[in-house]
C-alpha cells in the first residue's frame, strides 16, 4: 500500500511529539533505549525499552519505499525513536584532503530530513570512519575542518528541531576527539546551540576518564550511551564493573535525559528488562 504525503506528514507529527515527550522525561525518570539496526525493531519493542535508537546512516540509505514502510511500522508498534547514532557514513569524509562540502551538504539534508520525520531529536556524532584523520594530515587542520562542518550542520539541525551531540571515542577507534575535554573544545569552537555533546560510557571507561568531568560539562551534556566495558556487552549486574563513580556523577547533576544502550546481547528479550532495571537502580529511580 502506498502511503500518501498527507499520511507521512501525520506520521512525522506523531513521532515528533513522541520524541519530545521522551526528551522531557518527568523528574527522576530517564528514558532508556536500545541502539541497533532496523532488523532489531521487533526485539527492542518486545524487550520493553522506552525507545529505539536508530542508525542515521542506515535510515538515510533506505529507498523511499523502504523508508515509508519503516515509518509506518514504527507508528504501528508505537515505538518512539527520539535519538539516533551512526551519523555520517565513512564515505562522506569530514577530514583530510578528500573533503567534499557539497557531498556533506547533500547527505546532511537527506539524513536530517528523514531523522526528523521519525521524531529524532538528538543525533550522536561518532562517525569514526568519516572523521578519521588520514596519515600525514595535520590534526590541527582536521579539527578546523570538523569545526567548519559543525558550523554548517548546526543550523540544518536547528531547522529540524535536532541537536547533534559529539561523541568522544577511544583512540583505537578514532584518532581525533578522544576524551570529553576534547569533545567540549569542539562544541565551544563551533558555538552553536544545536551542537552539544554526549558521553559514551564504553569509550569513557576505556580511556580511563575521571567521572568528575561530568559535572564540568553538564551544561552541554545531552545524551548518554551505556555498555559494560568488558567486551562491550549489555550491562546486567552491578558487580560486573565499577559503575558506581559514573552513576554517582550522573545523580549529582540530576541527569534526566536519555540513555541508549549500545552493546551486544545474545538474547535481548531476556537481557533487556534486566538491563533496564539495573540502570534505573543505578540512577536512584
User: According to the model, what pLDDT value does residue 15 have?
Assistant: 43
Please state, in angstroms and rounded to a whole number, the distance separating the CA atoms of residues 17 and 14.
Answer: 5
The residue written with cell numbers 533487556 in the block is: 272
For residue range 199-220, list pLDDT tens digits in order: 999 999 999 999 999 999 999 9
Each residue's pLDDT tens digit, 229-249: 999 999 999 999 999 999 999
For residue 212, count CB atoms less than 10 angstroms from its CB and return exposed for 0-12, middle for 13-18, buried for 19 or more.
exposed
Report the share of the chain in percent with pLDDT over 90.
Answer: 90
Q: Where are the domains of the chain?
A: 5-282
pTM for the model stands at 0.90
How far apart are the C-alpha atoms of 247 and 205, rounded to whole Å? 13
- Cα–Cα dist 186/279, whole Å: 29
More confident residue, 7 or 59: 59
Task: Name the grid cell of 148.
Answer: 567548519
Under the banding of pLDDT at 50, 70 and 90, the label for residue 29 is confident
Which of 112, 232, 108, 117 shows the shortest CA–CA distance to 169? 232
Q: How far apart are CA 285 and CA 277, in angstroms?
A: 9
Yes or no: say if 92 and 104 are a contact pair by the CB < 8 Å rule.
yes
- pLDDT > 70? residue 25: no
Integer Cα distance of 104 and 119 in angstroms: 22
Q: CA nearest 162: which of 78, 91, 81? A: 81
Report the C-alpha gap between 205 and 170 in whole angstroms.
9
Provide CATH code, domain 5-282.
3.20.20.150
Amino acid at each position: 500500500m502506498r502511503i500518501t504525503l498527507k499520511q507521512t506528514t501525520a506520521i512525522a507529527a506523531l513521532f515528533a511529539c513522541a520524541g519530545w515527550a521522551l526528551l522531557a522525561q518527568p523528574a527522576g525518570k530517564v528514558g532508556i533505549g536500545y541502539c541497533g539496526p532496523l532488523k532489531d525493531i521487533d526485539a527492542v519493542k518486545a524487550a520493553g525499552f522506552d525507545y529505539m535508537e536508530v542508525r542515521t546512516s542506515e535510515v538515510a540509505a533506505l529507498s523511499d519505499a523502504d523508508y515509508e514502510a519503516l515509518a509506518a511500522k514504527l507508528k504501528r508498534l508505537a515505538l518512539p525513536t527520539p535519538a539516533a547514532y551512526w551519523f555520517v557514513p565513512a564515505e562522506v569524509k569530514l577530514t583530510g584532503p578528500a573533503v567534499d562540502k557539497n557531498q556533506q551538504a547533500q547527505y546532511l539534508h537527506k539524513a536530517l530530513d528523514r531523522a526528523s520525520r521519525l521524531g529524532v531529536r538528538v543525533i550522536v556524532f561518532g562517525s569514526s570512519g568519516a572523521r578519521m584523520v588520514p596519515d600525514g594530515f595535520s590534526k590541527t587542520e582536521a579539527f578546523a575542518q570538523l569545526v567548519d562542518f559543525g558550523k554548517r550542520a548546526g543550523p540544518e539541525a536547528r531547522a529540524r528541531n535536532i541537536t547533534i551531540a559529539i561523541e568522544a571515542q577511544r583512540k583505537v577507534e578514532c584518532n581525533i576527539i578522544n576524551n570529553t575535554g576534547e569533545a567540549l573544545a569542539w562544541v565551544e569552537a563551533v558555538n552553536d546551540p544545536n551542537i552539544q555533546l554526549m558521553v559514551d560510557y564504553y569509550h569513557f571507561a576505556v580511556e580511563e576518564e575521571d567521572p568528575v568531568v561530568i559535572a564540568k560539562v553538564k551544561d552541554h551534556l545531552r545524551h548518554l550511551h551505556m555498555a559494560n566495558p568488558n567486551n562491550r556487552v549489555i550491562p546486567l549486574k552491578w558487580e560486573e564493573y565499577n559503575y558506581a563513580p559514573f552513576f554517582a556523577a550522573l545523580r549529582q547533576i540530576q541527569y534526566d535525559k536519555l540513555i541508549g544502550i549500545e552493546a551486544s546481547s545474545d538474547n535481548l528479550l531476556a537481557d533487556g528488562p534486566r538491563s533496564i532495571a539495573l540502570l534505573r537502580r543505578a540512577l536512584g529511580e
